[in-house]
């Protein structure tokens, strides 16, 4: 089976769950007899992997999947760089055009024929839809997020239109959790019969290797790690941090990740009088991630929207107790986490204090959580994806 996969990111260059997903999914699809051409943007560095062919396509301007339309009508990347003088949807359209051109050229040169197209998230959907028409082969789309979820309900209507178009054009849709499938049905009008759920998974190995023995620690550590956007709820983390400090002044809070909310978060921490307790770490390189999870006594993911929430699995792989939003897709999968409503910062603070205070709770969460996620392998995610492929080819 030959699959044309249109993506956006691929390690080592990625900023969200999309890149991790593409890496592991393709790695485990290849041995199952799926020959893959992975199409992604070219941004000055050549990317490669032994199990698939990568076709990099030039992009004009620096568009990205995680952007935020601000109230004043301007566009920002989720990471705060002001690089959107123009409409990002125009950028996506140009990217689509380039992808179509590059793929057709590739087909002409190699003479290869594809059985189906698989596109990931809105920025690749236009290309997917156009190629389906041109090549006359089925289209599978995976939603890792929606415009609603990424922007915490401040959607940009043109992006919503692209997502709805993809839902209509796709032969099958993959959602990353049951809860998220519900959202696709209710908010984007997808036909539930057309949706398969394929959970994200975790390769625990990199998280197990880390040893903390050389690092001294003088304070209990509470960790936030994610894009600093409305979607991920960092403000709720700060509010809870303030409450926790009232009860346990010795605790320190790490906010890791970058995003356009960073300046305002720093300001908020200062206004709350907890500037000395919150450490803003900024970008965390891939190889330091596992160490960071390990270093923390509890990982908190207070997302407003969370289609899946792969970082929760990463923290669990590192043996760190996890507190996540009740609405996070990952809670479909795991029982051994604590859950809260993201807006209930008092309850979040209660749970943070509880994890820090009760050693047996930390132990049981860590131990059972680790055992639990061991079951969710990328191999089974690839198996389920393959099942979806087979369904559209029938």
Q: Which residues bind another protein (CB under 8 A)?
A: 243, 246-247, 335-336, 338-339, 346-347, 349-351, 353-354, 357-361, 363-365, 368
In the complex, least distance from residue 204 CB atom to another protein, rounded to whole angstroms: 21
Q: Which is nearer to another protein, 190 or 338 (CB)?
A: 338
Q: Which is nearer to another protein, 86 or 247 (CB)?
A: 247
In the complex, least distance from residue 42 CB atom to another protein, rounded to whole angstroms: 47
In the complex, least distance from residue 135 CB atom to another protein, rounded to whole angstroms: 47
In the complex, least distance from residue 372 CB atom to another protein, rounded to whole angstroms: 10
Q: Which is nearer to another protein, 232 or 351 (CB)?
A: 351
- Cβ neighbours, 10 Å, residue 82: 10
In the complex, least distance from residue 330 CB atom to another protein, rounded to whole angstroms: 15
In the complex, least distance from residue 199 CB atom to another protein, rounded to whole angstroms: 18
What SS3 string covers the chain?
Answer: CEEEEECCCECCECCCHHHHHHHHHHHHHHHHCCEEEEEEEECCCCCCECCEEEEEEECCCCCCCCEEECCCCCEEECCCCCCECCCHHHHHHHHHHHHHHHHHHHHHHHCCCCCEEEEECHHHHHHHHHHHHHHCCCEEEEECCCHHHHCCCCCCHHHHHHHHHHHHHCCEEEECCHHHHHHHHHHHCCCHHHEEECCCCCCCHHHHCCCCCCCCCCCCEEEEECCCCHHHCHHHHHHHHHHHHHHCCCCEEEEECCCCCHHHHHHHHHHHCCCCCEEEEECCCHHHHHHHHHHCCEEEECCCCCCCCHHHHHHHHCCCCEEEECCCHHHHCCCCCEEECCCCHHHHHHHHHHHHHCHHHHHHHHHHHHHHHCCCCHHHHHHHHHHHHHHHHC
In the complex, least distance from residue 33 CB atom to another protein, rounded to whole angstroms: 36
In the complex, least distance from residue 243 CB atom to another protein, rounded to whole angstroms: 7
Q: Which is nearer to another protein, 103 or 366 (CB)?
A: 366
Q: Which is nearer to another protein, 78 or 243 (CB)?
A: 243
C-alpha 269, offset from chain centre: 26
Cα distances from 88 to residues 74, 152, 268, 275, in angstroms, run: 10, 18, 29, 35
Q: Which is nearer to another protein, 39 or 348 (CB)?
A: 348
Inter-axis angle of helices 310-317 and 17-29, to 10 degrees?
70
Q: Which is nearer to another protein, 365 or 382 (CB)?
A: 365
Q: Which is nearer to another protein, 292 or 349 (CB)?
A: 349
In the complex, least distance from residue 313 CB atom to another protein, rounded to whole angstroms: 18
Q: Which is nearer to another protein, 142 or 345 (CB)?
A: 345
């Amino acid at each position: 089976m030959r699959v044309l996969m249109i993506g956006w990111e691929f390690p080592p260059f990625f900023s969200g769950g999309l890149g991790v997903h593409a890496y592991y999914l393709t790695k485990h699809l290849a041995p199952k007899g799926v020959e893959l051409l992975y199409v992604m943007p070219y941004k000055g560095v050549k990317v490669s992997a032994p199990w698939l062919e990568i076709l990099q396509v030039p992009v004009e301007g620096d568009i990205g999947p995680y952007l935020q339309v601000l109230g004043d009508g301007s566009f920002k990347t989720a990471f705060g760089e002001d690089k959107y003088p123009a409409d990002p949807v125009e950028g996506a359209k140009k990217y689509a055009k380039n992808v179509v051109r590059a793929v057709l050229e590739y087909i002409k040169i190699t003479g290869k024929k594809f059985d189906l197209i698989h596109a990931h998230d809105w920025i690749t959907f236009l290309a997917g839809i156009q190629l389906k028409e041109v090549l006359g082969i089925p289209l599978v789309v995976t939603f890792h997020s929606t415009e609603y979820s990424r922007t915490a309900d401040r959607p940009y209507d043109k992006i919503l239109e692209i997502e709805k178009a993809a839902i209509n054009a796709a032969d099958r849709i993959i959602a990353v959790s049951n809860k998220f499938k519900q959202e696709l049905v209710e908010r984007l009008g997808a036909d539930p019969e057309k949706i398969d759920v394929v959970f994200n998974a975790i390769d625990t190995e990199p998280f197990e290797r880390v040893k903390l023995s050389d690092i001294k620690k003088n304070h209990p550590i509470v960790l936030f790690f994610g894009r600093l956007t409305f979607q991920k709820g960092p403000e709720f983390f700060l509010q809870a941090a303030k409450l926790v400090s009232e009860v346990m002044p010795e605790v320190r809070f790490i906010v890791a990740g970058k995003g356009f909310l960073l300046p305002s978060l720093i300001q908020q921490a200062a206004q709350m009088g907890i500037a000395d307790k919150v450490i803003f770490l900024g970008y965390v390189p891939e190889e330091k991630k596992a160490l960071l999870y390990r270093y923390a006594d509890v990982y908190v993911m207070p997302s407003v929207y969370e289609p899946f929430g792969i970082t929760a699995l990463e923290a669990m792989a590192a043996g760190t107790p996890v507190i996540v939003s009740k609405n996070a897709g990952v809670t479909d999968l795991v029982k051994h986490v604590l859950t809260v409503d993201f807006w209930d910062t008092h309850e979040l603070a209660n749970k943070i204090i509880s994890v820090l205070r009760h050693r047996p709770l930390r132990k049981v969460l860590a131990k059972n959580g680790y055992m639990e996620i061991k079951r969710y392998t990328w191999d089974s995610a690839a198996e389920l994806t393959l099942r979806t492929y087979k369904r559209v080819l029938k």
